[in-house]
Each structure stands twice: as structure tokens, then as C-alpha cells.
Chains A and B, each alone.
Chain A
Amino acid sequence: MEVNAALIYGFASILLMIGYYSALRANDLIRVLISLELMFNAIFLALIPLFAVNSVVAFGVLIVTILTSSTEFMTLIIAIMALDRVRKSVRVEEVRAGGETYEGARSNA
């Protein structure tokens, strides 16, 4: 009934790299959000070996991870919706610092 931790770490690293690759190739903020959630799946998987060391501590870490990641994703979802309201687009190229293009777009509207 024993499983080597390398198997779980291997699957977790594969999921993490697929998430990275998907985020790198994305042109769409929705796809970036989905890739981020996939990366958190890898983190959840990598947490399993910690349960064999100290299950109580691992459970605390899991609760903090799940609740903070859920909050983070809700923040991102609202940010994407707000960006769509302002810029009428969810493309990655629309995200710029400073908002100088936003002023120009609003004056043209």
C-alpha cells in the first residue's frame, strides 16, 4: 500500500509545466485564468506527500491554500469583467500599465 513520492511529484511537475506552457501561449485572459487554476492543481497534488509527514499541519496548509487561491481567482474574475467593461476586450494585449491608452479610448468613444 506504499507509494513512492516521486510518482506524485512527477505528475505534479507535469501538470505545473502544462499550466505554464498554456499560460505562455495564451492570447486571452480567460485562458490565462484557466492555466493559473491548472497550476494550483499541481500545487494541491504536491501537497499530498506532506500529509504523510504531519497530517494536521498539511491539512492547515491545504485549507489556507484552497481559500486563498479561491479568493485570488474571484479577484481575477472580477478584474477580467471590469477590464472588459472598460476596454471592451479580454485580450492579453489590452492589459497595460498606466492607463494612457484608456484615456485615449475613452475620448474617442
Chain B
Amino acid sequence: MINAYLGALIALGIVSVLTALGITITRDNLYAAIYLAITTGLVGAIYGLFGITYGFILIYLVFVGATITITIVLAATYRRVEFRGGAGRSWVLPMILFIIAIIIASIETTYNITPITSQSLMSFVSTPSDLLLIALLSSLLMAIMIGLIMYYLEVSGRWR
């Protein structure tokens, strides 16, 4: 008998795999980016299901809210029907073998995951060194953003 918790996880996982397949199947970049946003939202929902609230917020705020939104705008700008090329379809076979190998290798373990409480993560945010890590990473992000904007202005000829 599958309990409601396990059923919710399986449902979220199956829908996220289906939307990920939509990225591969659709020929329009805009729809592929929208499918990507749905997939990422569902992965964030799995974080929420396990009680990892900070991970849920980070994925929604930084990844879905910032990065994927810009990707959707970029895909809408360069919207076109894509002609398929690249590697052949025979690459599906080793990929399916890899998935089967991962499942077989991990199913023998008796390693179980239980939902964690947000209180156990509070110690991370309350430590000064960990706060410094977040501040440094955010500063790195902003410094790289400024550098990228300057690079783009240089390439487009507007930076003198």
C-alpha cells in the first residue's frame, strides 16, 4: 500500500519527467523554456515535500525566478522552429542502460530518507562563517554580472 507521501513524490517525479520529455519533443524554443520552468518548479516542489524549505525558496527565488525567467525571455527573442541534427537517436540505448544501472545500483541499498525539519537548517543561517559564505557568493555573482554587462557592451560597440 502506497501512502500519500510516497504517492505525492511519485506523482511529482513522473510529471517532472513528462515535462522534461516535452523539452526534447517540442520544436519551439519558447515552449521548451516554459517546460523547463515547470520541471524546475516540480523539482522545487519535491524539496518542499521533504520539508527542505530553504532549498525550496532558493530554487524558486534564484533559479526559477531569475535564471529561467531570463532564459524564457531569451528563448522568446530567438524563437524559431528548430531543425533537428546533432547525434543520432541510437544514443537513447546507452542512456536507458545508464538509468537502469543507477536504479539497480541504488535499489539494493536500504538507505531511506525522512522529511527533515526546518529547525535543523537554522544552525546554518545563524553561523557567521556560513553567512560570510553566502555574502561572498552573492558578491561573486554580482561581480561576474557587472563584468558580463561590460563585456556585452564591449562586443556590441557601446562601451568606449
Q: A residues bordering B, Cβ < 8 Å?
A: 1-11, 13-15, 17-22, 24-28, 30-31, 33-35, 37-38, 40-41, 44-45, 47-49, 51-52, 55-56, 59-60, 62-64, 66-71, 73-75, 77-78, 80-82, 84-86, 90, 92
Complex interface bits, B64-91 against A, C-beta within 8 A gives 1, otherwise 0? 0011101100110010101111110001
* Chain A interface SS verdict (over half): helix
Contacts A14-B17, A37-B36, A45-B46 hold; do A27 and B82 have CB atoms under 8 A apart? yes
Looking at the complex, which one of B46, B54, B145, B152 makes contact with A82 (CB distance below 8 Å)? B152
A59 touches B124 (CB 8 A): yes
Q: Which 7 residue pairs spanning A and B have beta carbons closest together?
A: A24-B87, A17-B95, A6-B106, A11-B13, A2-B112, A13-B102, A6-B107
Q: Smallest CB–CB gap between A3 and chain B, Å?
A: 5
Chain B interfacial residues counted at CB < 8 A: 81
Q: Which residue of B lies closest to A54 (CB)?
A: B120
B82 touches A28 (CB 8 A): yes
A residues near B98, Cβ cutoff 8 Å: 13, 17
B75 touches A21 (CB 8 A): no
Contacts A55-B121, A64-B137 hold; do A21 and B91 have CB atoms under 8 A apart? yes
A15 touches B67 (CB 8 A): no
Q: In whole angstroms, how far apart are the Cα atoms of A44 and B80 in the complex?
A: 29
B74 touches A38 (CB 8 A): no
Q: In whole angstroms, how far apart are the Cα atoms of A11 and B49 in the complex?
A: 15
Contacts A3-B9, A3-B113, A13-B103 hold; do A69 and B63 have CB atoms under 8 A apart? yes
Q: Smallest CB–CB gap between B29 and chain A, Å?
A: 5
Contacts A26-B82, A27-B85, A34-B36 hold; do A70 and B95 have CB atoms under 8 A apart? no
Looking at the complex, which one of B29, B82, B86, B102 makes contact with A10 (CB distance below 8 Å)? B102
A residues near B141, Cβ cutoff 8 Å: 67, 70-71
Looking at the complex, which one of A25, A31, A59 makes contact with B29 (CB distance below 8 Å)? A31
For residue B155, CB closer than 8 A to chain A, the reply is yes
A residues near B59, Cβ cutoff 8 Å: 44, 66
Looking at the complex, which one of B13, B24, B46, B145 makes contact with A21 (CB distance below 8 Å)? B24
Q: In whole angstroms, how far apart are the Cα atoms of A2 and B96 in the complex?
A: 27
A5 touches B121 (CB 8 A): no
B91 touches A18 (CB 8 A): no
B106 touches A5 (CB 8 A): yes
A51 touches B84 (CB 8 A): no
